[in-house]
């Protein structure tokens, strides 16, 4: 399964980015994480899902670059949960 996910990422995203770009991505993820926490505290549903979705994408990508499989898989599970939640939200179910 890990090789399947790695092959998908290698097709969709560059396998090497500069350290500067990675730092920018991680800072954006930090901001999204903080905003998501505020959205949870203030009960700003569904903003929490919309902020957490790109947060997970960034961390999956950064973990994939640095071969941190556990971090990649944890965020992939959360990404699937947020995808389900966003889909249900837009379908109005």
Average pLDDT rounded to a whole number, residues 24-37: 92
Condensed to tens digits (0 to 9), the pLDDT of residues 55-68 reads: 988 888 887 766 67
* 28 close to 62: Cβ distance less than 8 angstroms: no
| Domain tally, the chain | 1
Q: Which residues contact 53 (CB under 8 A, 6 or more apart)?
A: 79, 82, 83, 86
In this predicted structure, the answer to whether residue 38 has a pLDDT above a threshold of 90 is yes
In a domain, 4, yes or no: no
In a domain, 86, yes or no: yes
In a domain, 56, yes or no: yes
> pTM for this one?
0.73
Give the residue numbers spanning the domain of 39: 19-91
In a domain, 1, yes or no: no
In a domain, 46, yes or no: yes
């Amino acid at each position: 399964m890990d090789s399947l996910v790695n092959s998908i990422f290698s097709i969709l995203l560059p396998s090497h980015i500069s350290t500067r770009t990675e730092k920018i991505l991680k800072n954006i993820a930090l901001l999204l994480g903080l905003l998501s926490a505020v959205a949870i505290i203030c009960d700003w549903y569904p903003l929490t899902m919309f902020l957490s979705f790109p947060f997970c994408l960034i961390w999956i990508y950064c973990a994939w670059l640095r071969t941190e499989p556990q971090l990649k898989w944890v965020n992939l599970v959360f990404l699937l949960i947020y995808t389900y939640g966003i889909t249900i939200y837009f379908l109005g179910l």
